[in-house]
Amino acid sequence: MSLKYYNPTSPGRRGLISLDRSELWHGRPEKSLVCFKKRTGGRNFQGRVTCRSRGGGTRPLYRIVDFNRDHGGKGVVASRVERLEYDPNRSAFLALLSSGEVKNAPLSYIVASSGMKVGNVVYSGEGCEIREGNSLPLARIPSGTFVYNVELKIGKGAQIARSAGTYAQVMGKDLEYVLVRLPSGEVRKIHKNCWATIGVVSNADHRNICLAKAGRSRWLGRRPHVRGVAMNPVDHPLGGGEGRTSGGRHPVSPKGQNSKGLRTRSRRKSRSSKMIVSRRKK
């Protein structure tokens, strides 16, 4: 996908950079694979705001994505890419797969890879070849291969490298585990029976788009974000001061927690922390 640049014919068009979605499906999503998604507005089960600047926006339908492409150990399963679709719930594109040549074959959504095209045939199974879009256990993937949709727990489904343009890299084997470099730079041990998909996640240009106006943020459910230094002392730890005072204080959250460089990983994750070979770069 390429980027589209616009002439400044109006204030909302000035600086606008969007994606060229001419290759994507323009109709409605597959009806059997969507459901309504309840929106929280950034509030928890008690009704208190835990994530500021959230609310409103267009109500999207949630696409049910298949993150477990093992098919219950049925051997190698071939699927055809019927179409590529935009998903409002994630930054990557989706691919609609048909699992057979007959009419009314079962359909499923997967996260599309960067080189996936309509009509491609992708495979999932322990015996499939190392090719983009194929899904298989980490034990059968050679070192140096780029993968995405990586499982952390056997059978739980993909959790790592699902965002647009991201990928993990298989670094080597260590007995029952495989060393994988995550998108953050962290090297981690993952069990060899966890599954992954070959390739890089689609829509790598997502990081280069520019919304150009506040209204497009509101359509996405993002409300205005006010800087702490622009508030009063009663509203934020960084508030107050004479004039445009913004320096001399360490950046903190509204509750006073340092927001730059503070390690927030829970100490209770000792069992999970043992699998980390090297931490991500500071």
Query: Structural domain boundaries of the chain?
Result: 3-206, 226-282
pLDDT for 150 equals: 96
Sheet with 77-85, side-by-side order of all strands: 107-111, 94-98, 77-85, 121-124, 135-137, 195-198, 146-148, 168-174, 177-181, 187-191, 276-278
pTM for the predicted model, two decimal places: 0.89
Residue where the block lists tokens 């788009």: 209
| CA atoms within 13 A of residue 275's CA, in its CB half-sphere | 17
N-to-C CA span, the chain:
32
Q: What is the CATH number of domain 3-206?
A: 2.30.30.30
H helical segments located in 127-273: 214-219, 270-273
- Asked if 167 contacts 257 with a C-beta cutoff of 8 angstroms, the reply is no
What is the C-alpha separation between 226 and 222, in angstroms, rounded?
A: 12
Pick the CATH number of 226-282 from 3.40.50.720, 4.10.950.10, 3.30.1360.20, 3.30.390.30: 4.10.950.10
pLDDT for 100 equals: 66
24: Cα separation from own chain's centroid: 19
pLDDT for 282 equals: 65
pLDDT for 71 equals: 65
pLDDT for 185 equals: 93
What is the C-alpha separation between 7 and 69, in angstroms, rounded?
A: 44
pLDDT for 52 equals: 93
Say yes or no: do domains 3-206 and 226-282 share a fold. Answer: no
Ranges of the chain whose pLDDT falls below 70: 71-74, 100-104, 282
pLDDT for 103 equals: 60
DSSP per-residue letters across 26-37: -SPPPGGGEEE-
What is the C-alpha separation between 178 and 71, in angstroms, rounded?
A: 22
Using DSSP's 3-state secondary structure scheme, residue 81 falls into strand
Nearest CA to 63 out of 111, 1, 117, 25 is that of 111
pLDDT for 252 equals: 92
